[in-house]
Amino acid sequence: MKKHIIAFLLIFSFLSSRADEGMWIPMLIGKNYEEMQRLGLKLTQEDIYSINHSSLKDAILQFGGGCTAEMISSEGLLLTNHHCGYDAIASLSTVERNLLDNGFWALKKSEELPARGVTALFLQRMKDVTAEVKDIVGDATGEEYAKKMEEVNKKWEKQESQGGKYVVNVRSFFNGNQFFLLIYKRYTDVRLVGNPPRSLGKYGGDIDNWMWPRHTSDFSMFRIYADANNEPSAYNLSNVPYKPAKFLPVSIKGVKEGDFAMIMGYPGRTNRYEVSYGIDMAVNTVNPSIVAIRDLRLNIMKRHMDKDKATYLQLTSLYSRISNYWKYFIGQTEQLKRLHVVEKKAKIEADFTAWARENNENSQLMNQFATAYTQFAPYAKHSVYYTECFRASGLNRMAAAVKPLYDYIAKNPKTNPDSIAYYVKGAQNSRRANAKEFELGTEKEMYAEMTRMYYENIDKAQLPDVYAKVLFNKECVGKKKCKPAPKGKLPCYQGTSYPEYAEYVFSHTMLADSNLFNEFLKNPTKEKMDNDAALQYAFSVINNYNTNYQQLIDGFYNKKASLAKEYIKLTMKWKKDNAFYPDANSTMRLTYGKVKSYDPQDAVHYNYFTTLDGLMAKYKPADEDFDVPADLVTLYKKKDYGRYADEDGTLHTCFITNNDITGGNSGSPCINANGELIGTAFDGNWEAMSGDIAFDKKYKRTIVCDIRFVLFLIDKLGKAPNIINEMEIRD
């Protein structure tokens, strides 16, 4: 009992309350609850999180592995973001029946479409297991730490999964200073119920992304199905709608400036305890590299998507994912500079060092960070380009999945059939996963440009030997005649450009052809792999990275993790009266604050809501980003908003709050003081894109799609009263 009290105080000790900043663990809401009440909350702590009866936590789920959703009916209906359902919607679309572009509404349950691969994960309970984990893990780091944590998870899975009924994992908080056991139930029969046309679900496109004012109807709807006992079951026509322990009632009263707003969900990653050295590297090396690579990838994909509708449907989800964080890293870098975050962090670190010296703590900690980053700096760019550039090619990802098979055969003259089958299955699964977004024309151009970028941006001393031995082999490159290769051997590359090299590779690989690949897997040999051009390039890059740099890079991250753990521990000791919350790590969190406008710059004020008037002011017929369906234009002209209009007579589209969210919160419910759904969170604002590293109280805002806009589009545009009638709507 004592260790739980200590952990509780560790997280929730207060000097002063901060309603907006903080991603709090719902189970440990503690003194936050008193502040939430002062802000207007009418619910009890048990209403928010309880293991004894239904609570808000039972209405919130992790959707698809990377987003959040909320239950909004007693029959398994859920609401999430349009961009969270985007991949499923695109996968269900064809050129002839384009659900993504045209929208889709199931007017009865039999019309709902199975969203293959989409999962719904519900938190059942969580428990502090810090003492138990530390007994096993101790001071282990790196690979030893990973093995110990695997042992920890196996132990708890055996004790708590009930033979696979529950998903069990142990997560680290405060960089390894605290551990929680989390137990979930996963549902896999998830079906598409409805989505607005893409022109509305992504209204504003990349131009408006991460911006306020915003008018996007970023929502989609799915339904969870279960067996007759309400338990998870694979897709089956005999399954019935899931009965949630809790679902959110919907309020159409609207919001006002200063209203209480609470968001629950699964924020992905923040790094609020990052030191100045890491931020400086992000600003000057990591982020610019990511942006440059993704910019080129997006341009290549866009050209091919614009030429062919089938290619567009095949690649649009991948394009959207790449684009979202391409702009994110641009914005993060800009705001980190504008807000002078490196300098501010350095000042805090200097104060910390002075405190540590005066109190006989580790006053060399910041010097240790500096040394680690200095040693890592020569390889930082290579690390980014290996992940973002080399692996941007689908062909390279397929080749990487064949590498374990190659290594096994190369090391074992006498192979075991079971081992071969194991590695073959891994290669098959990877190729199958990559084939979904593998479009030949796009891939060839991507391969050529990524191969070029890798060469031009990596320190020449760090390049793999394939460039010298193949791409720039003076004996063959540019020569009209080259010694012909023996029969069955890979011919010498003779071209002089990266597009020519891409053609050479694609002409001499089995990876791009499913028939050739499957034939190879029937009898995989080292010789066949040695004479495959795609494997030749990829294996050279992988071997170079793994042999010469992986250990250095892993060593840096292991050292950084150890230093960060100590820094957080000592910071809590230094600022013992301050509030501390753990960085986001894809576990359920709660954030609370108010509906609030802001002033982004001198003489500029941003109101807290937007309207359909503002959406139509941006309207450009046939424009890729700002077109809207003709039916919406008609509804707007008639001002046919029904009961969803605000008391001012307009239809509100979005609003902003000062809640603290990040990626993974997409689709999270925005909840009022009475526990009612008032909107779904979908974005942050440009002026606060440094937020994952440094929260800024003045600028940080969450952008929410007003639930009244959602209902209006379902009712008036989608003409799906069956969906409206399912919900508990409160005037």
The pLDDT value given to residue 19: 52
Does residue 253 register a pLDDT over 80?
Answer: yes
53 is catalytic: no
Does residue 188 register a pLDDT over 90?
Answer: yes
The pLDDT value given to residue 641: 98
| Residue 629: cis peptide before it, omega within 30 degrees of 0 | no
Beta strand residue intervals within 515-626, DSSP E: 589-594, 598-601, 604-606, 609-611
Does residue 481 register a pLDDT over 90?
Answer: no
H or E stretch at 260: strand 260-265
Tokens for 479, please give them: 């020569």
Does residue 176 register a pLDDT over 70?
Answer: yes
The pLDDT value given to residue 224: 98
The pLDDT value given to residue 6: 36
Please state the length of the chain. 731
Does residue 11 register a pLDDT over 90?
Answer: no
83 is catalytic: yes
> Does the pTM exceed 0.85?
yes
Tokens for 44, please give them: 């009890």
Does residue 9 register a pLDDT over 80?
Answer: no
H or E stretch at 241: strand 240-241
How many whole angstroms separate alpha carbon 692 and alpha carbon 675?
27
Nearest by Cα to 713 from 284, 147, 198? 198
Does residue 704 register a pLDDT over 50?
Answer: yes
Coil, strand or helix at 425: helix
Tokens for 574, please give them: 């230094």
Does residue 427 register a pLDDT over 70?
Answer: yes
CA distances to 516, 618, 678, 683 from 283, rounded to whole Å, are 45, 33, 37, 22
Does residue 705 register a pLDDT over 80?
Answer: yes
pLDDT digits (tens, 9 = 90+) for 87-123: 999 999 999 999 999 999 999 999 999 999 999 999 9
> Which residue matches tokens 């209480």?
260
The whole-number average pLDDT for the span 414-422 is: 95
pLDDT digits (tens, 9 = 90+) for 38-59: 999 999 999 999 988 999 999 9
CA 86 to chain centre: 13
* Average pLDDT along the chain: 94
Does residue 678 register a pLDDT over 80?
Answer: yes
The pLDDT value given to residue 14: 32
pLDDT digits (tens, 9 = 90+) for 572-596: 999 998 878 999 999 999 999 999 9
The pLDDT value given to residue 379: 97
189, β-bridge pairs: 225
The whole-number average pLDDT for the span 135-155 is: 91
The pLDDT value given to residue 4: 38
How many whole angstroms separate alpha carbon 247 and alpha carbon 234?
23
Does residue 534 register a pLDDT over 80?
Answer: yes
Coil, strand or helix at 591: strand
Does residue 391 register a pLDDT over 90?
Answer: yes
Catalytic pick among 50, 58, 83, 690: 83
The pLDDT value given to residue 475: 82
When computed from its CA atoms, the radius of gyration of the chain, rounded to whole angstroms, is 27
The whole-number average pLDDT for the span 250-276 is: 97
H or E stretch at 381: helix 365-388
How many whole angstroms separate alpha carbon 597 and alpha carbon 703?
11
How many C-beta neighbours within 10 Å does residue 684 have?
27
Phi and psi angles of residue 261, each rounded to the nearest 5 degrees, phi first: -140, 130
The pLDDT value given to residue 12: 38
Catalytic pick among 666, 683, 690, 706: 666
Nearest by Cα to 560 from 383, 421, 709? 383
The whole-number average pLDDT for the span 380-398 is: 97
pLDDT tier, 141 (very low <50, low <70, confident <90, very high otherwise): confident
Positions of CATH 2.40.10 in the chain: 589-730
Query: What are the residues whose beta carbons fall under 8 Å from the beta carbon of 513, sequence distance 6 or more?
Result: none
The whole-number average pLDDT for the span 230-241 is: 97
Q: What is the DSSP pairing of strand 260-265 with strand 589-594?
A: antiparallel
pLDDT tier, 31 (very low <50, low <70, confident <90, very high otherwise): confident
The pLDDT value given to residue 169: 94
pLDDT digits (tens, 9 = 90+) for 123-133: 999 999 999 99
Nearest by Cα to 458 from 544, 340, 566? 544
The pLDDT value given to residue 480: 66
Catalytic pick among 218, 532, 583, 715: 218
What does CATH list as the number for 589-730? 2.40.10
582 burial (CB, 10 Å; 0-12 / 13-18 / 19+) is: buried
Output the CA angle 594-595-598, nearest 5 degrees: 105
The whole-number average pLDDT for the span 558-580 is: 94
pLDDT digits (tens, 9 = 90+) for 196-206: 999 999 999 99
How many whole angstroms separate alpha carbon 702 and alpha carbon 664?
13
Does residue 3 register a pLDDT over 50?
Answer: no
The whole-number average pLDDT for the span 429-449 is: 95
The pLDDT value given to residue 396: 97
pLDDT digits (tens, 9 = 90+) for 443-452: 999 999 999 9
